[in-house]
């Protein structure tokens, strides 16, 4: 009996765990290590952040699902990888530290035959002075943060109802943030909530972001066919901001969040600030800080992880200018080049480079989005990697055969812009491929027939449908496999 | 919608007409778009 160890139980980790157990049956063991007792459908956290949903509606306990499916679960955080074992064993293992109330602080070694690293990111609030819920800004990255943010939003709404003018600043809290899409969703859901509570005239709503232009979303934006033209997503994004009366600040690296004021630098090197009564600013991401050691106990972290803490896989990490970037740079099997039984999926793998063109301010500050890895591609890569591993564990293959490069994968993204079944809206986007291929599609980088964007109520219905469908699937309820990644 | 003033950032972008806004939340049209969007998403799924 072999053991597949999965670190993390987010979208990628849960997808991997369920598919692995389904394909391996009782012949092999599937073990999940996650510091969280709850599974969280993160895309709906933006609705918790406005009060449209409660935290209980976007979470469920993991332990009963794993008990039902026969997956071994440790509520713990991974601390270090030992891919060669140590002086006492040649079996690779991971050191974990329990986070459950009963075992908090105790450590253990979990051996593995195959390892999937799907830890997700560390929310790096420390990268910007004063950033984060424990300092001077809010977040919707976790359901706990979102719950706290919803209460703060209600406080400013109450002030507006008393006649006070309020300024709300929403966006990214560092020059290298990703997840502009999540901040975008939160922005428009807040704007909708202000209108619903009839205080919109009392609010100045400002977007701040490290994107070069609106509509970049960390993927260089996209071109779509619209009204007889091929237009960039910047056009329809600016249109939506204008329609909703939202101001925008782009090309901004937030340097410090103070109580009621945020200081930032722009690409021109100008130092500016904006005053606010409410600030929801997403943090940059980094790896979770796993260390790695060889058999002799020497630190080999830099052999397994990029400097940003994300795990190195089969991508081309050679430093090269934007003009030399190729779709082939992106990983296909997510297998670590040195330790062939280690894989990384979701946000945990190291992208070879950004997707948006890197920009540096005149003062030398990098101000551009890092690559987004949304739920759909995270789920797909987790499924493909799991299929490869289970084939090898079952003796059907000796090496990965399935590929899941973002350069050959499409994505659908539904960005909520107001939550209501009758008058809500969402921006529904499809892109193919996720990584632009300017050799194959010289003008647009992507296939125009498969790349689209539109705003409407139907998008909201789909987002709601996906909310329930993916939670149903993650609970491993009957016929869960019918729900695609 | 805010009042557009010359040379400000909101002066230039296209804004939807009343008819466009109407169709964005028209139940019949949006039900049709719901079907179309699902087909588009399933096409993306099939590309994997």
Structure confidence by residue, pLDDT tens digits, A339-384: 999 999 999 999 999 999 999 999 999 999 999 888 889 999 999 9
Q: Is the peptide bond before A419 cis (omega within 30 degrees of 0)?
A: no
Burial degree of A84 (CB within 10 A; 0-12, 13-18, 19+): middle
Q: What pLDDT was estimated at residue B2?
A: 57
Q: What is the end-to-end Cα distance of chain A in Å, rounded?
A: 28
A169 φ/ψ angles, rounded to the nearest 5 degrees: -110, 125
Q: What pLDDT was estimated at residue A469?
A: 96
How many helices and strands, by DSSP H and E, does chain A display? 9, 24
Q: Does A420 touch chain B (CB under 8 A)?
A: no
3-state secondary structure of A349: strand
Nearest CA in chain A to B31: A458
**Residue reference for tokens 């890569």:** A381
Max CA distance (Å), chain A: 70
Q: What pLDDT was estimated at residue A374?
A: 85
- DSSP character at residue A446: S
* Angular region, A105: left φ>0, alpha ψ -120 to 50, beta rest: left
For chain B, positions 17-36, list CB contacts with chain A under 8 A. Answer: 23-27, 29-31, 33-34, 36
- DSSP character at residue A480: G
Please list the residues that pair with A456 across neighbouring strands: A426
The pairs formed by A476-482 with CB atoms below 8 angstroms and a separation of 24 or more are A476/A18, A476/A65, A476/A68, A476/A69, A480/A18, A481/A22
Q: Which two tokens stand for residue A117?
A: 């690293």
Name every chain A residue with its beta carbon within 8 A of the beta carbon of B47: 409-410, 432, 450
Name every chain A residue with its beta carbon within 8 A of the beta carbon of B48: 380, 384, 404, 409-410, 485
Pick among B11, B19, B24 to test the A interface (most A CBs inside 10 A): B24
What number is the ipTM of this complex?
0.94
Tell me the average pLDDT across A133-148: 97
Q: What pLDDT was estimated at residue A227?
A: 86
Q: What pLDDT was estimated at residue A200?
A: 97
Q: Which of A239, A411, A456 has its CB closest to that of B14?
A: A239
Q: Which two tokens stand for residue A136?
A: 């001077």
| pLDDT tens by residue, A304-321 | 999 999 999 999 999 999
Distance CA A452, CA B40 (A): 9
Q: CA nearest A199: which of A160, A168, A167, A226?
A: A160
Distance CA A376, CA A380 (A): 6
């Amino acid at each position: 009996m072999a053991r597949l160890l999965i670190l993390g139980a987010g979208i990628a980790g849960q997808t991997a765990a369920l598919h692995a157990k389904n394909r391996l049956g009782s012949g092999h063991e599937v073990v999940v290590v996650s510091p969280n007792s709850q599974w969280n459908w993160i895309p709906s956290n933006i609705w918790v952040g406005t009060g449209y949903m409660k935290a209980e509606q976007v979470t469920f306990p993991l332990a009963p699902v794993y008990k039902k499916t026969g997956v071994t679960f440790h509520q713990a955080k991974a601390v270090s990888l030992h891919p060669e074992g140590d002086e006492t064993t040649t079996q690779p293992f991971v050191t974990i530290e329990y986070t459950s109330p009963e075992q908090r602080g105790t450590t253990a070694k979990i051996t593995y035959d195959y390892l999937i690293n799907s830890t997700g990111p560390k929310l790096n609030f420390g990268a910007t002075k004063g950033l984060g819920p424990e300092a001077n800004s809010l977040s919707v990255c976790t359901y706990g943060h979102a719950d706290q943010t919803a209460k703060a939003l209600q406080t400013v709404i109450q002030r507006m109802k008393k006649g006070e003018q309020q300024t709300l600043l929403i966006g990214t809290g560092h020059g290298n943030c990703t997840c502009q899409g999540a901040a975008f969703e939160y922005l428009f859901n807040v704007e909708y909530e202000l209108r619903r509570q009839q205080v919109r005239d009392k609010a100045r709503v400002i977007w701040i972001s490290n994107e070069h232009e609106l509509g970049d979303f960390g993927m260089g934006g996209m071109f779509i066919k619209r009204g007889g033209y091929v237009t960039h997503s910047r056009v329809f994004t600016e249109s939506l901001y204008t329609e909703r009366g939202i101001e925008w600040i782009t090309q901004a690296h937030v340097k410090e969040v103070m109580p009621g004021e945020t200081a930032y630098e722009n690409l021109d090197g100008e130092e500016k600030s904006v005053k606010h009564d409410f600030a929801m600013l997403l943090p940059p991401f980094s790896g979770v800080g796993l260390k790695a050691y060889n058999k002799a106990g020497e630190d080999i972290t830099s052999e397994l992880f990029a400097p940003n803490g994300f795990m190195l896989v089969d991508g081309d990490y050679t430093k090269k200018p934007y003009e030399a970037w190729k779709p082939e740079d992106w990983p296909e099997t997510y297998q670590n080049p040195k330790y062939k039984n280690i894989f990384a999926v979701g946000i945990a793998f190291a992208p070879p480079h950004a997707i948006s063109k890197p920009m540096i301010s005149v003062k030398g500050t990098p101000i551009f989005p890092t690559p987004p890895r949304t739920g759909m591609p995270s789920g797909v890569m987790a499924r493909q990697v799991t299929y490869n591993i289970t084939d090898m564990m079952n003796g059907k293959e000796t090496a990965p055969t399935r590929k899941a490069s973002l350069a050959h994968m499409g994505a659908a993204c539904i960005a909520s812009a107001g939550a209501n079944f009758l008058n809500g809206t969402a921006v529904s986007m499809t892109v193919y491929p996720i990584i632009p291929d300017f050799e194959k599609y010289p003008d647009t980088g992507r296939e125009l027939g498969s790349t689209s964007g539109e705003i409407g109520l139907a998008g909201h219905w789909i987002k709601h449908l996906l909310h329930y469908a993916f939670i149903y699937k993650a609970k491993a309820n009957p016929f869960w496999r019918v729900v695609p990644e | 919608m805010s009042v557009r003033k010359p040379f400000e950032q909101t002066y230039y972008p296209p804004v939807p007409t009343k008819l466009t806004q109407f169709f964005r939340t028209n139940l019949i049209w949006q039900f049709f778009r719901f079907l179309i969007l699902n087909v588009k998403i399933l096409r993306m799924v099939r590309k994997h």
